[in-house]
Chains A and B, each alone.
Chain A
Amino acid sequence: MAYKLAGMVAAAALAISTVAIAAGPTDPQIAHIAYTAGNIDVAAAKQALAKSHNKAVREFASEMVRDHEAVNAKALALVKALKVTPEDNPTSQALSKAAKDEMKKLASLKGSAFDKAYVNNEVAYHGTVNDALKSTLIPSAHNAQLKSLLETGLTLFQEHQKHAEHLASTLK
């Protein structure tokens, strides 16, 4: 299971870096990637809230829904104000595909097995997204407001990653 998860995350990271090397993403593509990444985590958290009975896991998932929905609302307002239409792209598609596969796997798990798998994936997922933000998305963003939102997002997601790591260490 761990190897499969790691492979999936590596594939998503590779997809991000491959696109970045081929051509720096444009602002409409960056907005789409960031929004997609947030939506994926909200969906994962909602799955956790539907399946988990662990108080700490549920609190973490609630935080993910609240924070990521807040960022995405801000992102939507920003692209509207800037009259930018988010543009679908291979990175967004790779993230969505990997997330769909992961949700399917998690759906088959129960109890502590689900909790551990969900939280471990949250650690890996935030790590992947944070690396992409640092190495590609923030440096490639041209619009100052978009760049600022991504930077705030990075600070937030790094907090989430630490929270997930701490939570993972407490799950037996």
Chain B
Amino acid sequence: MNIRRLSPLFAAAAWALLSIPTPAAAAPRSFTIVIDKMKFGPVPAELHKGDIVIWDNRDMFRHSATDKGVFDIDLPAGKVVKMRVTKTGTFPFICKYHPGMKAVLKVAQ
């Protein structure tokens, strides 16, 4: 049985530290992106500022979710890491160890 545990800390992403969700924003929602067999699984279609992305690395390899200069999330094998989204825009990201793995996060207000 593959037992995974939540990381005790939110991933330290630079952009997550730069802004504070506005009180008027809708309640943040959580979306899981599964990483397995050298691929990023489907990304959420409706991601909004303040939401939480849960990176669930079910692969046997260490990966990352990296948009250079924007965010760089370390994803050890078999671990789950949370990231709060606090910036709108389109963010193409890769695994920096295996750059053929790529996807895009689109974040609306």
CB within 8 Å of B: which residues of A? 63, 66-67, 70-71, 73-74, 148, 151-152, 155-156, 158-159, 162-163
Residues of B contacting A71 with CB < 8 Å? 60
In Å, the complex CA distance between A24 and B3 comes to: 37
- Residues of chain B at the chain A interface (Cβ within 8 Å): 37-39, 60-62, 77, 97-101
* Inter-chain contact B61/A67, CB cutoff 8 Å: yes
Contacts of A66 in B (CB 8 A): 61-62
Q: Tell me the total A-B contact number using a CB cutoff of 8 A.
A: 32
16 contacts between A and B (CB under 8 A): A67-B97, A70-B61, A71-B60, A73-B60, A148-B37, A151-B37, A152-B38, A155-B37, A155-B38, A156-B98, A158-B100, A159-B38, A159-B97, A159-B99, A159-B100, A163-B99
Inter-subunit contact A70/B38 (CB<8 Å): no
CA distance A67 to B77 in the complex (A): 10
Extra contacts, 9 of them, besides A70-B60, A70-B61, A159-B101 (Cβ < 8 A), are: A63-B97, A70-B77, A74-B60, A155-B37, A155-B38, A158-B100, A159-B97, A162-B99, A163-B99
